Amino acid sequence: MMKISLLTLLMLGVFIGAHAQEKQPWKQGILKEEFLYEKAAFPSCHSATMAETPSGLVAAFFGGTKERHPDVEIYVCRFENGTWTAPVSAADGVQAEGKRLPTWNPVLYQIPGGDLLLFYKIGPKPSAWWGMLKRSKDGGKTWSAAEKLPNGHIGPVKNKPVLLDNGQLFCPSSTEGNGWKIHFEVTPDFVKTWRKIGPLAAKDSIDAIQPSILVHGNRTLQLLARSRNRALVQSWSTDNGETWSPLEKTSLPNNNSGTDAVTMADGRHVLVYNHVLPPGNLAKGPRTPLNVSVSKDGKSWSAALILEDSPISQYSYPAVIQTKDGLLHFIYTWRRQKIKHVVVDPNELKLLPIQNGEWPKVKGYTAPKLEEYKKEED
C-alpha cells in the first residue's frame, strides 16, 4: 500500500477546505473569519469599530456586564504579529466625584500622518450621553487623558468619519432625545474646532440615526442610516455635505439596527447590514442574518455576502473599512458574547441584483427559520 505523507494530507485538506468554501453560497471572497478573543473579563460586548494605523489594525468596542451597566468600558485590541492582542480597557465612565456611568459606541479614526483618535460617549442612556475623545501616538498601545467634546457635540455616533478632499472631516452623528434626528459634526483641523450641519429634514415622519457617508465624487455625498421605518433611509448632498436632501426610504429593508458602509478605492460602495424586513407592521426585527451588498451608484444594490445566518440572533452593529492592500475588513457583534472579524477580497465577490428589496434566492442555500429569535437590547 502506498504511504501518504503528512505534508500531502495537509495540502489536500487546505485544497478541500478552500474548494468547499468556494462552492458555499454567499461566502465567495471570504479570506478569513476569526474572533478578536476567546475569553474576556467581561461577559457582554457590542458596537465594534476598526481603523488601519501605520503599525497595523486596531479594533475597539464596549464591554461589561451588559449594555447600560455602569461597569461598561471601552476595550481595544491590536492586530500584532499575526494575532489579536487581549482586550485592554482604554476608557471608562468614572466621574470626578466617583460616580460611575456606562460608556458607549466607540469610533476609531486614524488622522493621516497623525494621531489615532478614539471617540466614545459617556452617559446613563443615549438620550443623555456626551462625547469624549482620547488620542494615541503609538497605534493604540497607549492613550492620552480623556477630553470632553464641546457641549452639544458627541462626535461620530457609531460609524467612521470621512475626510473630504477639501480637508473637512465629516463625523456622521445623530440624537435620540427628542425624536431621532441626524446631523453632522464637522472639523477642518482634526478636532481643534467644530461646527454642526443639520439636523436633516425628513419625509414621511422618518426617524433615523447612526448614518454612514458614501463619497460619489464631484462634490456628491450620500448617507445611509438606520430607521424605525422598516427601511434603510438615505439623503444626498451635491455640495460636499453643506446641504442635504430630506431623508427618504431606500428599497432596502432595515430591522431598526445599526449598519455601516464604505466607498472603495475603485468607486464602488459596500454596505453591511441585516437584510431583514420586520414581520407584520413592526419597526423592529431579528438581527440575523448579517448581509453585505455592493453598488456602483448607491441606488441599485447587488447581494454579495451573508456573513452570519444562524437563527440565534445578534449579529449586529457592523463596521467596514478597506485597507491599503484593497481588502475589506468587517467587524461586528457576535451574539453579544464576542467580536468577530472577517476579511474579504472584493474582487472575488459574486454579485446578484437585489430586486424589490428581496435578497435573491440561489440554489443550495435556504434561509434559516427565525423561531429561535430572542428579542435583544438596542
pTM, whole model, 2 decimals? 0.93
Show Cβ contacts of residue 55 under 8 Å, excluding neighbours closer than 6 positions. 78, 138, 139
Please indicate whether residue 98 or residue 1 has the higher confidence score (pLDDT): 98
C-alpha dihedral, 340 to 341 to 342 to 345, nearest 10°: 170
**pLDDT bucket at 371, cuts 50 / 70 / 90:** low
pLDDT at 367: 84
| Pairing mode of beta strands 208-217, 220-227 | antiparallel
Residue 327 has pLDDT above 90, yes or no: yes
- Span 112-139, average pLDDT: 98
Residue 331 has pLDDT above 80, yes or no: yes
Cα 284 from Cα 277, distance rounded (Å) = 8
- Grid coordinates 466617583 are at which residue? 98
- Span 147-173, average pLDDT: 97
Summarised one tens digit per residue, pLDDT across range 183-197 is 999 999 999 999 999
- Span 328-338, average pLDDT: 98
Show Cβ contacts of residue 172 under 8 Å, excluding neighbours closer than 6 positions. 156, 157, 159, 161, 162, 182, 184, 210, 211, 212, 213, 223
- Picking from 218, 206, 215, 192, the residue whose alpha carbon sits closest to that of residue 247 is 206
Query: Per-residue b/e over 185-207, b at no fewer than 16 CB within 10 Å?
Result: bbbeebbeebeebbbbebeeebb
| Cα–Cα distance list, 123 to 88, 285, 305 (Å) | 21, 26, 36
pLDDT at 23: 65
Cα 298 from Cα 248, distance rounded (Å) = 14
pLDDT at 372: 59
pLDDT at 18: 45
Cα 88 from Cα 132, distance rounded (Å) = 18
User: Percent of the chain scored above 70 by pLDDT?
Assistant: 92
Query: What does pLDDT average to over the chain?
Result: 93
pLDDT at 9: 37
Residue 370 has pLDDT above 80, yes or no: no
Question: What's the distance, CA 53 to chain centroid?
Answer: 17
Rounded to 5 degrees, φ, ψ at 115 are: -75, 155
pLDDT at 277: 97
Cα 336 from Cα 90, distance rounded (Å) = 20
Residue 17 has pLDDT above 60, yes or no: no
**pLDDT bucket at 24, cuts 50 / 70 / 90:** confident
- Grid coordinates 432596502 are at which residue? 252
- Span 226-233, average pLDDT: 98
| Cα–Cα distance list, 256 to 167, 168, 230, 238, 279 (Å) | 33, 30, 7, 28, 12
Cα 253 from Cα 232, distance rounded (Å) = 6
Question: Is 327 in contact with 274 (CB distance < 8 Å)?
Answer: no
Alpha-carbon dihedral sign for residues 91, 97, 100, 106: negative
pLDDT at 99: 96
Summarised one tens digit per residue, pLDDT across range 297-323 is 999 999 999 999 999 989 999 999 999
Grid coordinates given for 54: 501605520
pLDDT at 368: 80
pLDDT at 22: 53
Cα 303 from Cα 287, distance rounded (Å) = 17
Please indicate whether residue 342 or residue 19 has the higher confidence score (pLDDT): 342
